[in-house]
Structure formats: C-alpha cells, structure tokens
Amino acid sequence: MNKTTRRTVIAGNWKMNKTPSEAEQLIGEILTAVSGKSTSGCEIVACVPYVDIDAAVKAAAGSVVKIGAENCHWAKSGAFTGEISADMLKACGVEYVIIGHSERRQYFGETDVTVNQRVKAALEAGLKVILCVGELLEQREQGITSEIVSLQTKIALMGINENQMSDIIIAYEPVWAIGTGKTATCEQADEVCGIIRNVIASLYSDKVAQATTIQYGGSMNAKNAKELLSMVNVDGGLIGGASLKAEDFAVIIEAAQ
Ligand code: 13P
C-alpha cells in the first residue's frame, strides 16, 4: 500500500451557508490563512452553494483554492424547476461537484440510481466528482457497513470506465458522524476507505484502486485531522462545519502536508 500513488484532497462542503459577499470574504480569509505555508501536499477545494459560485470563483482565481458545487442534475437541460445542470456549473468556472451527499439522500430523495446518473452527467460536462457514500448508524450497528458502502459505490460507478476514474474522488462519510461531533475512529475510517478501495480494485484494477483518492468526512476538524489523514487509506477530507472557519480549515490543510 503506497499513498504516494494518489493525490490528497482537502475539500470544504459549505452546505447551505454564506451569502455571495460572505463567500468572497471566507475565500479571502482561507487564502490569508494558508499564505506563506506549504500547500503543495494537497489539493484544496471549496464546495459552495450555487448562488456563491460566481463570487467564489472570482475570489479564488489564480490561487490554490479550486471551487466546487454541492450537487448537479443529470439532464443537460429541460423542465426541472429549481435544478442546475453540470454544463451550467462548468460554464461558471466550477471544477468539482459533490454528488450523493447523505443530506441529499436523506432529505431530497436521492437514490443510488440518481446518484449514478448525476455522476455520469458531471463527468460528461468535464467536472471532477466527489462521490459520497456512507452508512447510517443502524446499519453500522447491524454490522452491514461493508455491504452498504460497497453497494452504494458499485451502483454509483455503473457505466463509468477506467479512464473516467481519474476524475472521481470518493468520500466515505458515515452518516452518524456528520455534524454530530462524533468522529469515526481512525481505524474505522481506514477500514471502510480500504473496503471502498477493494471495491474499486474488483471493478477496475488494483492500479486504479491505488490511484483513487478516498476521503474521510464526518466531524473532521483542526484537532483530529492529522491522525485521520495519517491512515494509509485516508487520502483527504470532506469537511463541513470546520471548513467555514478559515483558521480551522487552514490547520486541516497543514495537517495534510
Ligand atoms: P461535518 O464536518 O460538519 O460533520 O460535515 C461533514 C460533511 O457532511 C461533509 O460533506
């Protein structure tokens, strides 16, 4: 197992927080917080609400921070009131998009099948995907974490070829750890990220599995990031709450160096 075969990615998921002017300010604060520090050891992404994209792209232009969105629709265009297409995001200067976040699955009826459709649309538009998978608390207690996460991964990647895998990051986010302050232990995070890597090896090849970035997400913060990121199968983080505080986000970025 060799971590150097893949890139480390630290991504913030701002969720439904920040207006455009606040987004501009937060990107500025993040850039100030990381300035003068080494950032070459990881890629830095901020996934922001749709209405903040323009301000965030402008504020991050020419910097180390890349901008992502938090979802996209699977159709190119059409009668889908309230939705945004992958092409629209690309046209706004977005590089990344989160797909299949558990909050989308929980509150907005997202299924493994629609996640797969969205992944395909995003890749076709030339976006990089942060694909989220993770088990509920009762699923962990029932001892079916491996089955759930494997199934979610397999369905989400249906019809995705080996070449496209270089534009996919997988984020393991145990639902019970999101926004709860309850972090998975390093061993739990490493174990499930390893299970996901084995699924990728079975679908594609060991080479693809070793090259795929697999993040952990769920109450990652300035205090626990270093330990989580030291695990062999954990190649970065998808960070909610702590990504809204520039200083904390910068500490996590530092921990990834
Ligand atoms: P928290 O870091 O706030 O637990 O959120 C994690 C998450 O959902 C990132 O996508």
What CATH number is given to the structural domain containing 76?
3.20.20.70
Q: Please report which confidence band the pLDDT of residue 7 belongs to, taking 50, 70 and 90 as the band edges.
A: very high
* Contact status, residue 96 vs residue 74, Cβ threshold 8 Å: no
Residue 18 banded pLDDT, cuts 50, 70, 90: very high
In a domain, 1, yes or no: no
Q: Which atom of ligand 1 is nearest to the CA of 241?
A: 3
CA pair distance 66, 109, nearest whole angstrom: 28
pLDDT given at position 12: 98
Looking at residues 8-37, what average pLDDT do you find? 97
Catalytic residue among 43, 110, 173, 254: 173
pLDDT of 1 higher than 70: no
Number of structural domains (the chain) is: 1
More confident residue, 92 or 1: 92
Any domain includes 2 = no
Q: Is 73 a catalytic residue?
A: no
Percent of the chain with pLDDT over 90: 95
CB 33 within 8 A of CB 250: yes
Scored b (16 or more CB within 10 A) or e, 73-112 reads: bbeeeeeeeeebbbbbbbeeebbbbbbbbbbbbeeeebeb
Axis crossing angle, helix 246-255 with helix 20-34, rounded to the nearest 10: 40
Catalytic residue among 101, 103, 135, 254: 101
The rounded distance, in Å, linking the Cα atoms of 48 and 54 is: 10
Distance 240 CA to ligand 1 centre (A): 3
pLDDT > 90? residue 3: no
Q: What is the CA radius of gyration of the chain?
A: 17
* Whole-angstrom distance, CA of residue 139 vs CA of residue 158: 23
- Phi-psi domain of 197 (left: phi exceeds 0; alpha: psi -120 through 50; beta: other): alpha
Count, in order, helices (H) and strands (E) of the chain: 11, 8
* 118-160: pLDDT as tens digits: 999 999 999 999 999 999 999 999 999 999 999 999 999 999 9
User: Residue 9 in 3-state DSSP?
Assistant: strand
Q: Which atom of ligand 1 is nearest to the CA of 181?
A: 4
Q: Classify residue 4: in a domain, yes or no.
A: no
In a domain, 99, yes or no: yes
Backbone phi, psi, residue 44, to 5°: -115, 130
pLDDT digits (tens, 9 = 90+) for 93-119: 999 999 999 999 999 999 999 999 999
Q: Give alpha helix (H) positions in 108-184.
A: 112-124, 137-141, 145-156
Bridge-based pairing of strands 43-47 and 236-239 is unpaired
List, chain by chain if needed, residues with CB within 6 Å of any ligand 1 atom: 13, 101, 173, 178-179, 217-220, 238-242
For 216, other C-beta atoms within 10 Å of its C-beta total 32
User: How far is 237 from 216, CA to CA, in rounded Å?
Assistant: 5
Three-class DSSP labels, 193-204:
HHHHHHHHHHHC
**Closest-CA residue to 131 (of 95, 93, 101):** 101
pLDDT at 45 over 60: yes
What range defines the domain where residue 244 resides? 9-255
Whether 3 maps to a domain, the answer reads: no
pTM above 0.85, yes or no: yes
What percentage of the chain exceeds 70 in pLDDT?
A: 99
Tally Cβ neighbours within 10 Å of residue 202. 12
The reported pLDDT for the residue numbered 2 is 62
Give residue-wise pLDDT tens across range 196-252.
999 999 999 999 999 999 999 999 999 999 999 999 999 999 999 999 999 999 999
